[in-house]
Amino acid sequence: MIKGWAALRGPKIFSGPYKTKVTILIAARDEEDNIRKTIDDLMAQDYPRELTEIIIVDDHSTDSTADIIRSYADRGVQLMQLQADAALNSYKKKAIAEAIARSTGDLMVATDADCRMGPQWLSSVVSYFEAEGKYMISSPVSYFEEHSLFEKLQTLEFSYLIGLGASFIGLGRASTCNGANLAYRKDIFHEVGGFTGIDDLASGDDELLLQKVAAKFPGSIGFLKKREAVVYTHAKPNLSSFLQQRRRWASKSVKYKDKKITAVAIGIWLFNLSLPINALLGFYDIRFFNLFLIQMGLKYLFEAIFLFPIMQFFKRLSLLPLLVILGPIHIIYFIYIGLMGNTRKYAWKGRVVR
C-alpha cells in the first residue's frame, strides 16, 4: 500500500478547451441542512456552464429538501423525485440509475448532498479525464470542520481508508473508492450492466460498481491525486451514527469480485483479532505478551509510514500524532465491524436495510 500511494503521480495538465458534457449526479434524502451549500458550490464551479448538467434526485424526503432544490430550477438544476412503487433495499442505486437514464452528459460525476467542493473541483476531474482517457475516476474525499476529538480521530481513520483505495489503484488492483467523489463514462456504466447484480445491497453504488468496471476493463480506472479535486464532508457526530455508517460500508465486502482483495481484508481482520488474544494470553505466558508488543510496534510503524504522505496530501499532518490514540481503539472497532457488518441489518437515512 505504501508503494501504491507513491506510484500515483500528479495528473497531466490539460491545456485545450474542454469538450466533455458532464452530468453531476446527487441522490438526496432529508438534507435540508446541507443541500443549499452543496448546490451553491456546484454553481460556483469554473467549468463551462454550457457543458454542465446537474440532476438531483430527491429520495422521498420528509423535510424541505425538494423545495430547496426546486428553488434552483431557474439556474439549471434539475429535480427528480424518486417514485418507488414497492419497498426497495437500495433506493440510492435506483435514484442514480434513473438520473443517468435522464442525463445528457457523457461523463457522470457523482457526489453527495452534504458535500462541499472548491471551484476547481469539476474542471480538475474533467481535465484528468480528457488527458488520461480513464473510464472511471476515483477522487479524494476528506472530513473537515471537526468539533471534537472523536471527529478528528474519524478524519485520520477516514484518510487511511481513502489512501487504501487510492493505493490499490496505484498498484493496478482497483477495489475501493468513495461515492462522494466518483466519475465514470455513461456508456461504460451501461456496458457493465449498471447496478445489475449488486442491487440487492443498500450500499455499493461506488466500489461495487468500480469492481465491475475493473473486472471488464482492467487498467481503465484512475485516482486523481490533486488537492483541487478533494471533496469535503463531515465526520459523524456520535458513536452510534459512526458505527451504522461503517457497518454499511463493511456489508459490501461480501460482494467483492476480486477474492484476493477479500483475502487481504480477512488477513487484516485476523491480525487485529490476534492482538487482544495475545495480550490476554500474556497473563499465562509472557511470550504472548512480547508478541503482542511486537505486533503493536509494527502496526504503529507501518501505519505511520503509510499515513504520513496521505495526511501531507490533505494538509492535515497535525492529526498524525492522534494515531497513538487511534491505534488501540481501531483494533476493537475493526473486529466489531468485521463481524457486525456482514451479520446484521443497519439504519440508513431513516430506513432499516441490509
pLDDT, tens digit, 9 for 90 and up, residues 115-137:
999 999 999 999 999 999 999 99
Q: How far is CA 89 from CA 203, 258, 336, 345, in A?
A: 9, 24, 23, 11
The Cβ-side half-sphere exposure at 204, using a 13 Å CA radius, reads 25
Residues 11 and 130 occupy one common structural domain: yes
What is the count of structural domains for the chain?
2
Residues 28 and 118 occupy one common structural domain: yes
Residues 40 and 161 occupy one common structural domain: yes
Q: Could you say which of 206, 238, 270 is where a domain stops?
A: 238
Confidence of residue 346 (pLDDT cuts 50, 70, 90): low
Q: Provide the angle, in degrees to the nearest 10, between the axes of the packed helices 323-340 and 286-313.
A: 100
Instruction: Select from 102, 34, 22, 121 the least CA-distant residue to 69.
Output: 34
Domain hosting residue 39, numbered range: 2-238
Q: What H or E segment, with its residue span, contains residue 290?
A: helix 286-313
More confident residue, 259 or 109: 109
Residues 193 and 327 occupy one common structural domain: no
Average pLDDT for the chain? 91
Instruction: Select from 165, 146, 166 the least CA-distant residue to 156.
Output: 146
Residues 168 and 208 occupy one common structural domain: yes
Give the pLDDT of residue 265.
85
Q: Are 158 and 232 in contact (CB under 8 A)?
A: no
Residues 111 and 177 occupy one common structural domain: yes
Confidence of residue 80 (pLDDT cuts 50, 70, 90): very high
Q: Does residue 251 belong to any structural domain of this protein?
A: no
pLDDT at 221 over 90: yes
Measured between alpha carbons, how far is 353 from 253 in angstroms, rounded to an integer? Answer: 16
Q: Which residues have C-beta within 8 Å of that of residue 196, sequence separation ≥ 6?
A: none
Q: Could you say which of 191, 207, 238 is where a domain stops?
A: 238
Q: Cell triple for residue 106?
A: 457523457
More confident residue, 50 or 350: 50
The burial class, CB within 10 Å (0-12 / 13-18 / 19+), for 96 is buried
Give the pLDDT of residue 12.
76
pLDDT, tens only, 274-306: 999 999 999 999 999 999 999 999 999 999 999
Which CATH number fits the domain that encloses residue 159?
Answer: 3.90.550.10
pLDDT at 248 over 70: yes
